[in-house]
């Protein structure tokens, strides 16, 4: 639906690009300049309208993507999610109107169904309306395509229903609920010509924080980046309480509000340079500007890679033969390297004791020997090579064989786990070792205390 319209628009827009370049400034909606704001000569106002082509820049917002809107220093775009909810959305509309500020709203389909008049008010006030799914699931990153499609399409249909199906009033902009991005929704939205909007800074207004905190976070984060997309919610009382001060401070500090609208056949995209779509565009003065970059795999379509076949592990001819050739070659190729003589190994009655450093393994991994120190000692005392294994196992181990198999070798001197391991020279009967994951109780409880609430 929207995709088809957009494809058509895009084709047509190319044919009129010459005229567009000449006439773009006259065809874009005129922003509500502060000076024109009725009843409020000191209003923040909307400094300009930015027209974007979703097909050219399918994902924006540096919280998650490399690109963001092509804003100049001290330019901010306001966005509001999760409405319309009359009680608070109407107040947000009134505050924006008092400052002649235009914003972008991402509506939830179910909210639009319940309150279609709220959608119409957003349009009537001149704001941009995109969508935010039908039911606001916070699982879009795990959804199969069919469910993603249903959420996106239903959300658009519900919002369009409030606009009597007038697609020209709905922007092909979408914000994934909870910003739970994933390849499946992103690919589907791109295929529909819909632009995914993340953000450049949130103000945490969905959390149980005070309006003061919302204000502080909004201003601090805007000041840190000096431009970008602010993510707010028009269903929260704390947002309503914080918004007038946010706008007043932005005005005081010389920020300007930009209104974003989608390109159409009659309204071509604002001409921009590719580097403007980056928060910090590279410059010629940065030495690495022209250096090859590490590829960004975020949008790799492949979820899995083929498991290597055994023949791939044949490292010997890696430089000579390609993958296919190696796959055809058996592993029984004789190497040129000296091979250990198995007959000699079999004849050896003793092997060197492993150094203590061999047993130092990271963090919770621990080496557990199947034989305890005491049984090892017993075996040393009577090293009958063919002695039955059961003889060396204590009565307790017989009773709890699993527990015995995983227990740490007890140190006779009481130093426990920290004590250096003294291992009997491996013999035919006690050489087997077992690697197990183990977190000692004391360590686990200490770790749990460190976890914040
Ligand atoms: Zn939301």
Nearest Cα to Cα of residue 106 among 185, 170, 188: 170
Q: How far, in Å, from the CA of 264 to the mean position of ligand 1?
A: 27
Instruction: Give me the domains of the chain, ranges plus CATH numbers.
Output: 2-290 (3.20.20.370), 308-337 (no CATH), 355-379+395-409+432-440 (no CATH)
Number of Cβ atoms within 10 Å of the Cβ of 70: 23
Q: How far, in Å, from the CA of 61 to the mean position of ligand 1?
A: 15
Unique residue bearing structure tokens 């034989």: 371
Q: How far, in Å, from the CA of 112 to the mean position of ligand 1?
A: 14
Q: How far, in Å, from the CA of 235 to the mean position of ligand 1?
A: 10
Q: How far, in Å, from the CA of 133 to the mean position of ligand 1?
A: 9
Residues 6+ apart with CB under 8 A from 79: 103, 104, 105, 106, 175, 197, 199, 229, 230, 231, 232
Q: How far apart are CA 18 and CA 170, in angstroms?
A: 26
Q: How far, in Å, from the CA of 163 to the mean position of ligand 1?
A: 21
Task: Take residue 281 and report the two structure tokens written for it.
Answer: 């565009």
Q: How far, in Å, from the CA of 50 to the mean position of ligand 1?
A: 24
Q: b or e along 415-451 (b: 16 or more beta carbons within 10 Å of the residue's beta carbon)?
A: eeeeeebebbebbebbeeeeeeebeeeeeeeeeeeee
Q: How far, in Å, from the CA of 131 to the mean position of ligand 1?
A: 10
Active site positions, annotated:
81, 233
Q: How far, in Å, from the CA of 80 to the mean position of ligand 1?
A: 9
Q: How far, in Å, from the CA of 230 to the mean position of ligand 1?
A: 13
H or E element in which residue 154 lies: helix 145-162
Output the CA–CA distances (angstroms, integers) from residue 450 to 89, 235, 439, 445, 447, in the order listed. 41, 35, 15, 9, 5
Q: How far apart are CA 259 and CA 127, in angstroms?
A: 8
Q: How far, in Å, from the CA of 191 to the mean position of ligand 1?
A: 22
Give pTM, 2 decimals.
0.60
pLDDT tens sequence across 56-98: 999 999 999 999 999 999 999 999 999 999 999 999 999 999 9
Q: Specify the pLDDT at position 36.
A: 74
227 bridge partner residues: none
17 bridge partner residues: none
Q: Specify the pLDDT at position 182.
A: 95
Per DSSP, the residues of 318-371 read TTTS-HHHHHHS-S-PPPSSPPP-HHHHHH-S--PPPPGGGG--STTEEEEESS
**Local structure of 130: helix, strand or coil:** strand
Q: Label residue 395 exposed, middle or buried (CB < 10 Å: 0-12, 13-18, 19+).
A: exposed
Backbone angles phi, psi at 9, to 5 degrees: -60, -45
Task: Take residue 359 and report the two structure tokens written for it.
Answer: 């047993």
CA angle at residue 381 from 378 to 383, to 5 degrees?
A: 95
Q: How far, in Å, from the CA of 350 to the mean position of ligand 1?
A: 68
Nearest Cα to Cα of residue 333 among 320, 321, 317: 317
pLDDT tens sequence across 383-394: 444 444 444 444
Q: How far, in Å, from the CA of 81 to the mean position of ligand 1?
A: 5
Nearest Cα to Cα of residue 137 among 194, 204, 182, 190: 182
Q: Specify the pLDDT at position 285.
A: 65
Q: How far apart are CA 145 and CA 286, in angstroms?
A: 42
H or E element in which residue 39 lies: none
CA angle at residue 162 from 159 to 163, to 5 degrees?
A: 95
On whether the CB atoms of residues 209 and 238 are closer than 8 A, the answer is yes
Task: Take residue 221 and report the two structure tokens written for it.
Answer: 């984060």
Output the CA–CA distances (angstroms, integers) from residue 349 to 153, 295, 353, 362, in the order listed. 73, 54, 13, 32
Q: How far apart are CA 274 and CA 53, in angstroms?
A: 13
Q: What is the pLDDT along the chain (453 residues), one digit of tens a residue?
A: 444 444 444 444 443 333 333 333 334 455 655 557 888 889 999 999 999 999 999 999 999 999 999 999 999 999 999 999 999 999 999 999 999 999 999 999 999 999 999 999 999 999 999 999 999 999 999 999 999 999 999 999 999 999 999 999 999 999 999 999 999 999 999 999 999 999 999 999 999 999 999 999 999 999 999 999 999 999 999 999 999 999 999 999 999 999 999 999 999 999 999 889 998 876 666 555 555 555 555 545 555 666 665 555 555 444 444 555 555 555 555 556 655 555 554 555 566 666 667 666 655 544 444 444 444 445 554 444 444 444 444 444 444 444 433 443 333 333 434 334 444 444 444 444 344 444 444 444 444 444 334
- Sequence-distant contacts of 298-301: CB under 8 A, at least 24 apart: 298/65, 299/183, 299/186, 300/183, 301/183, 301/187
Task: Take residue 411 and report the two structure tokens written for it.
Answer: 């140190």
């Amino acid at each position: 639906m929207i995709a088809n319209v957009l494809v058509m628009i895009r084709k047509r827009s190319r044919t009129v690009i010459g005229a567009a370049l000449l006439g773009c400034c006259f065809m874009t909606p005129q922003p509500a300049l502060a000076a024109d704001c009725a009843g409020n000569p000191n209003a923040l106002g909307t400094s300009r309208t930015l027209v974007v082509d979703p097909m050219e820049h399918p994902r924006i917002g540096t919280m998650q993507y490399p690109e963001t809107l092509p804003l100049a220093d001290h330019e901010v775009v306001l966005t509001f999610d999760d409405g319309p909810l009359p009680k608070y959305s109407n107040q947000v509309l009134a505050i924006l109107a008092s400052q002649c500020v235009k914003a972008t709203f991402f509506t939830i389909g179910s909210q639009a169904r319940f309150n279609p008049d709220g959608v119409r008010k957003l349009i009537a006030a001149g704001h941009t309306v995109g969508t935010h799914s039908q039911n606001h699931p916070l699982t879009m990153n795990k959804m199969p395509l069919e469910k993603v499609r249903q959420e996106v399409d239903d959300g658009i249909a519900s919002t369009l229903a409030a606009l009597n199906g007038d697609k020209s009033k709905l922007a092909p902009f979408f914000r994934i609920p909870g910003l739970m991005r994933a390849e499946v929704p992103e690919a589907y939205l791109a295929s529909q010509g819909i632009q995914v909007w993340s953000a450049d800074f949130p103000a945490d207004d969905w959390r149980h924080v005070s309006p003061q905190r919302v204000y502080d976070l909004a201003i601090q984060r805007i000041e840190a980046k000096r431009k970008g997309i602010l993510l707010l919610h028009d269903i929260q009382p704390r947002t309503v309480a914080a918004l007038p001060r946010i706008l007043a401070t932005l005005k005081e500090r010389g920020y300007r509000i930009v209104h974003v609208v989608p390109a159409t056949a009659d309204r071509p995209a604002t001409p921009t340079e590719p580097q403007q779509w980056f928060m910090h565009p590279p410059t010629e003065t940065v030495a690495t500007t022209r250096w090859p970059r590490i590829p960004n795999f975020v949008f790799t379509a492949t979820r899995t890679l083929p498991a290597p076949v055994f023949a791939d592990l044949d490292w010997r001819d890696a430089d000579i033969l390609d993958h296919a050739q190696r796959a055809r070659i058996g592993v029984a190729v004789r190497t040129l390297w000296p091979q250990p003589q198995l007959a000699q190994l079999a004849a050896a009655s003793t092997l060197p004791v492993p150094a203590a450093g061999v047993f130092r393994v990271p963090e919770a991994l621990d080496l557990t020997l199947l034989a305890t120190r005491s049984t090892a000692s017993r075996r040393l005392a009577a090293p009958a090579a063919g002695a039955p294994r059961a003889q060396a196992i204590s009565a307790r181990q017989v009773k709890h064989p699993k527990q015995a198999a995983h227990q740490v070798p007890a140190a006779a001197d009481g130093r426990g786990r920290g004590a250096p391991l003294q291992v009997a020279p491996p013999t035919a009967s006690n050489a087997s070792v077992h690697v197990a994951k183990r977190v000692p109780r004391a360590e686990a409880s200490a770790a749990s205390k460190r976890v914040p609430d």
